[in-house]
Structures are given as C-alpha cells and as structure tokens.
C-alpha cells in the first residue's frame, strides 16, 4: 500500500477511504490519532474536574484561575479541536488547530517548569494522573511524548503543505506577463 502526504479523503467526510476509492495517507491517520489523543486527554480532564479533591480549589499559577476551571476550559478546547479534526473538511485548518493547541501546551509546560513545578503539581490530566497505576515520572514522559507527537507531526505536515504550495507557485507559469 502506497502512502502519500495528501489525498482527497477527509476525516469525518461521511465516507470511508475505501468507499471513495482512495488510500488514506499518513496525514489522514495523524489527524485521526491526534483527535483520539485529544479526546482521551479531554475526558480525563473533564472527569477530574468533577471531583472534590482539594487540588481543584487551588489557583493555577499560570492562568490565575482555580484548577477546576482550567481543567474544564482546556477539556472544552481539546474536545473542540478533536471534534473539528473528525468532522471538518479542511485538513489545513485541522493541522493548524492541532499545532496551535500543541504549541499552547508546550508554552504552558515551559512556564510551569520555570516555576519549579512538577507533574504532581500539574493539572495535565487532572486528578486522574495520581490514580493511574503508572509511575508518575513515566506518565510525565508519556505526556511529553504525546505533546511532541502532536506538535512535531502537525508542524511537519504544515511545512510539507507550505513547501508544496511555494513549489507550485515557483513552477507555475507567470500569468501576469504577456507573451508578445
């Protein structure tokens, strides 16, 4: 099976790739996996925000809102981007949404790390992170890898699109000059 960077199949277009006679691309599957990751992390945040742990009443040092409010807000944003990735038509806007969200998460982590805060203080997955049967340092590494996946994958596919667009413009005949 040959995989290419672009094809006509869109995530959530109502047709599976095989029905439309096209092969899904790596970009297509990246968007599907990114949407699933965002849906899962949003669900963890939402479930955590419904709890009664004292952590949820504390103020987030970056946003200066209660952790419960930050979790709810970020969960809604992640659900929104995930839903957009699954049901919208424009792959370019899907990639921009994933990239923007990934960049925002990276900036948030950088700001928190400069404050000397660790995963135990971070509401990345809310209170669910503490209840998972995974060592917290391993979980922190997994979350960093997921962030790297979202940011590097979307950046790569956006760069390929920009290069392809520029290459097409450079190779296209100049229509503004008349041949005499």
Q: Does residue 2 lie in a domain region? A: no
Q: Does residue 70 lie in a domain region? A: yes
Q: Does residue 12 lie in a domain region? A: no
Q: Which H or E run contains 156?
A: helix 136-171
Q: Does residue 50 lie in a domain region? A: yes
Question: Residue 75 in 3-state DSSP?
Answer: helix
Q: Does residue 66 lie in a domain region? A: yes
Domain that holds residue 167: 17-171
Q: Does residue 151 lie in a domain region? A: yes
Q: Does residue 8 lie in a domain region? A: no
User: What is the value of pTM for the model shown?
Assistant: 0.78
pLDDT per residue, tens digit, the chain (180 aa), is: 444 444 434 444 444 444 455 567 999 999 999 999 999 999 999 998 998 888 889 888 889 999 999 999 999 999 999 999 999 999 999 999 999 999 999 999 888 888 766 555 566 777 777 777 888 888 888 989 999 999 999 999 999 999 988 888 777 766 555 554
Q: Does residue 9 lie in a domain region? A: no
Cα–Cα distance measured from residue 5 to residue 167, given in angstroms and rounded to the nearest whole number: 15
Report the domain count for the chain.
1
Those residues whose C-beta lies under 8 Å from the C-beta of residue 77, and which sit 6 or more positions away, are 101
Q: Quick one: 130 exposed, middle or buried, by C-beta within 10 A (0-12, 13-18, 19+)? A: middle
């Amino acid at each position: 099976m040959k995989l290419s960077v672009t094809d006509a199949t869109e995530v959530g277009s109502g047709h599976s790739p095989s029905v439309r006679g096209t092969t899904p691309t790596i970009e297509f599957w990246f968007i599907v996996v990114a949407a699933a990751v965002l849906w899962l992390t949003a669900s963890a945040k939402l479930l955590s925000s419904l709890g009664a742990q004292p952590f949820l009443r504390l103020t987030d040092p970056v946003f200066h809102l209660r952790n419960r409010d930050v979790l709810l807000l970020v969960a809604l944003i992640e659900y929104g981007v995930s839903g957009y990735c699954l049901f919208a038509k424009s792959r370019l806007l899907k990639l921009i949404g994933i990239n923007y969200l990934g960049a925002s998460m990276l900036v948030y982590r950088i700001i928190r790390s400069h404050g000397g805060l660790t995963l135990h203080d971070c509401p990345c997955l809310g209170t669910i992170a503490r209840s998972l049967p995974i060592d917290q340092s391993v979980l922190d590494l997994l979350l960093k890898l997921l962030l790297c996946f979202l940011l590097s994958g979307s950046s790569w596919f956006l760069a390929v699109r920009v290069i392809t667009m520029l290459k097409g413009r450079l190779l296209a005949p100049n229509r503004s000059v008349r041949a005499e």
